[in-house]
Structure 1
Amino acid sequence: MAGNSQRRNRRTSNKKGATVGSGGQRRRALEGKGPTPPASMRKGHVKNRIANAKAKAAERRRPAPRRGGPKGTSEMVVGRNPVYEALRDGVPATTLYVQQFIDNDERVREALALAQERGNVNLMEAPRPELDRMTGGLNHQGLVLQVPPYEYAHPDDLTAEAYDDGEDPLIVALDGVTDPRNLGAIIRSVSAFGGHGVVIPERRAAGMTAGAWKTSAGTAARTPVARVTNLTRALQDYKKAGITVVGLAAEGEHEIGDLEALGGPVVIVVGSEGKGLGRLVGETCDYLVRIPMPGGAESLNAGVAAGVVLYEAARRRG
């Protein structure tokens, strides 16, 4: 019979109103959404990126477990002149091994004096066969210096340090640079022009060896180096954090003097002198820039090229 149906929820009136299951949506729609969150909590805001970078850095500083870059391996510097020069140039060292009954010439005496001046280098006497075993038969001339593993930073540590100082990040990433002397020279340039660190790949690239320490002329002690398993992914993470990625390439569309992005948060990517940037790394860059060379040279040494671009970035930052 009309109007007497027993079906549940059957409309028996033309009046509009809340239906079963509405859950009070209309009532909630009238409620305010509260105050605007602070800038540090708004996704995409520069202060939010800064806060996230600082939070990640604080998380890594906790005692365990460390999520930073891979740790280096210890290294042996062998020979009287190399050992003396490493100690003179401030290369970190844990132990100086001296051969028993060694011919005590001037270079040996100078190396021993430098090790004793430091106060944190152990002096160990060892027979020649033991030094031969340690060095794999190299001509050690009775002196062997043990260099401890380098503590690599995490890529986020570099941006966090910049933001802590109230500065835009200025970072150099290396793609396929295999000469430790180039790495040391670039670290020196980063330090000289106010940069915040260097990023290197874990494979097929120079690491923080004694040679890199020496070429850095002591600046490696205050300029962090981060090592990553995948450089392309690290660059993509920097881009997500609002940092511009600029690659150096002979075929670059822009000249370094015309690129305003160098004055802001930026990662400068330098490739090897022979091959340049890898394909994936080049495609990841926001800009590819070139250094004008009216003299006609085809390319520059990686360390020199990095120094030129770092100077331009420092000039734009005032």
Structure 2
Amino acid sequence: MAGNSQRPNRRTSNKKGAQAGSGGKRRRSLEGKGPTPPAEMRKGHAKQRAAEARARRASGAGGRPGQRQRAGKGGTNELVVGRNSVLEALREGVPASTLYVQQFIDNDDRVRESLRLTSERGGIHLMEAPRPELDRMTSGLNHQGVVLQIPPYDYAHPEDLTGVAFDVGEDPLIVALDGVTDPRNLGAVVRSTAAFGGHGVVIPERRAAGMTAGAWKTSAGAAARVPVARATNMTRALQTYQKAGLMVVGLAADGEMALHDLDALEGPAVVVVGSEGRGLSRLVGETCDLRVRIPMPGGAESLNAGVAAGVVLYEAARRRR
């Protein structure tokens, strides 16, 4: 009968008896291992990897003695989607790392030519992927079974552009864009810079167009020959150019001097172009040594950045000849 067992040492209750002491183990376990180290000190943490990368850049790892380090990659990979867009990017020589093609795709002339160009160029990985994976990569865009991955642009440092000119024994001619947000305008400026003997283009790091696939296409291959630098602070970059002996010339509709009177283009100069709507920002405009207007007998109020830069670069090339 329950509770009336005659067997000795048999437990008749779930309640445990007295326990031996822990010997201080519990108290020691509460003491911990000290304060948590900062993220930069924790092995494998993202902040530690970033700190190590900054240290490598600061020490000049991988560069020639005395050479400034480049500004680095500009953001994340870009995706060009759709058969027409991908084919145009490959035709224009836009740098690409991978071409993704949907499994069991219905081939047409565009797909076949894209595959041929990828094979001929070399250096571009060809990957086959199921449609759901391409949908996920493109966030549901109509990719038509082909996706081209563009690596981030490797921007130069603003001071590298003067070095490019001095290395070939020429006076620097640089274009700085202030608040230009259309990548096609940036591509057009890069193309004009190459056409008229300029040595590079400077853009702000924020609130401005970058070297996207659209800018590459508009440049018609010139982006492979003309360096584009990115400045953290455009005003400070212009002041650095002034200290190096360059004349900073800003384009403005109400400029005090007409372009055909501007002798400064014969020497080292930076041409600053603002957006068509807002023009130059206040600080950039105040930093310029001269503000110059382009005479327009036809009565137009303004020109877009790409056209305006082309006009001034042509005048600089004419004077320098």
| Superposition TM-score tier, normalisation by shorter sequence | 0.7 to 0.9
Distance 2:224 2:69 in 1: 21
Report the counterpart of residue 112 of structure 1 in structure 2. 115
**Residue 272 (1) aligns with residue 286 (2):** no
Secondary structure (helix, strand or coil) at the match of 2:149 reads strand
Secondary structure (helix, strand or coil) at the match of 2:73 reads coil
Going from structure 1 to structure 2, the CA distance change for 1:158 and 1:59 (only over 3 Å counts) comes to farther
Distance 2:66 2:154 in 1: 15
**Residue 260 (1) aligns with residue 263 (2):** yes
Distance 2:68 2:79 in 1: 26
Report the counterpart of residue 83 of structure 1 in structure 2. 86
Going from structure 1 to structure 2, the CA distance change for 1:85 and 1:63 (only over 3 Å counts) comes to farther
Distance 2:260 2:134 in 1: 53
Tell me the alpha carbon deviations over residues 91-112 of structure 1, each in whole angstroms, 9 at most, x when there is no partner. Answer: 0001000000111111111111
Report the counterpart of residue 62 of structure 1 in structure 2. 64
Distance 1:266 1:59 in 2: 32
| Contact 2:94 2:213 (8 Å CA) reproduced | yes
Task: Give, as a single letter, the amino acid of the residue that structure 1 aligns with 2:183.
Answer: P
Report the counterpart of residue 309 of structure 1 in structure 2. 312
Which of residues 195, 204, 209 is equivalent to 1:201?
A: 204
Task: Give, as a single letter, the amino acid of the residue that structure 1 aligns with 2:266.
Answer: G
Q: Unpaired runs of 5+ in structure 2?
A: 1-59
Tell me the alpha carbon deviations over residues 142-166 of structure 1, each in whole angstroms, 9 at most, x when there is no partner. Answer: 0000011111001111101101100
| Contact 2:103 2:129 (8 Å CA) reproduced | yes
Distance 2:221 2:65 in 1: 28
Task: Give, as a single letter, the amino acid of the residue that structure 2 aligns with 1:76.
Answer: L
Distance 1:171 1:66 in 2: 18
Matches within 5 A, 1:157-306: 157-306=160-309
Identity of aligned residues (%): 77
| Contact 1:60 1:68 (8 Å CA) reproduced | no
CA displacement at 1:62 relative to structure 2: 3.3
Tell me the alpha carbon deviations over residues 189-237 of structure 1, each in whole angstroms, 9 at most, x when there is no partner. Answer: 0000000000000101000000000000001001000001100000000
| Contact 2:98 2:149 (8 Å CA) reproduced | yes
Distance 1:287 1:136 in 2: 47
**Residue 138 (1) aligns with residue 115 (2):** no
Distance 2:109 2:231 in 1: 43
| Contact 2:63 2:69 (8 Å CA) reproduced | no
Whichever of the two has the greater Rg, that structure is 2
Task: Give, as a single letter, the amino acid of the residue that structure 2 aligns with 1:229.
Answer: T
**Residue 156 (1) aligns with residue 159 (2):** yes
Report the counterpart of residue 22 of structure 1 in structure 2. none
Distance 1:67 1:82 in 2: 34
Distance 1:190 1:61 in 2: 27
CA displacement at 1:69 relative to structure 2: 1.9
| Contact 1:249 1:290 (8 Å CA) reproduced | yes
- Structure 1 runs (4+) deviating above 6 angstroms are 63-66
CA displacement at 1:67 relative to structure 2: 3.8
Report the counterpart of residue 124 of structure 1 in structure 2. 127
Q: Unpaired runs of 5+ in structure 1?
A: 1-57
Report the counterpart of residue 45 of structure 2 in structure 1. none
Q: Let me know the Cα RMSD of the aligned residues.
A: 1.7
CA displacement at 1:238 relative to structure 2: 0.4
Distance 1:238 1:260 in 2: 18
Report the counterpart of residue 150 of structure 2 in structure 1. 147
Aligned pair count reads 261
TM-score by length of 2: 0.79
Distance 1:60 1:197 in 2: 23
TM-score by length of 1: 0.80
Distance 1:268 1:70 in 2: 24
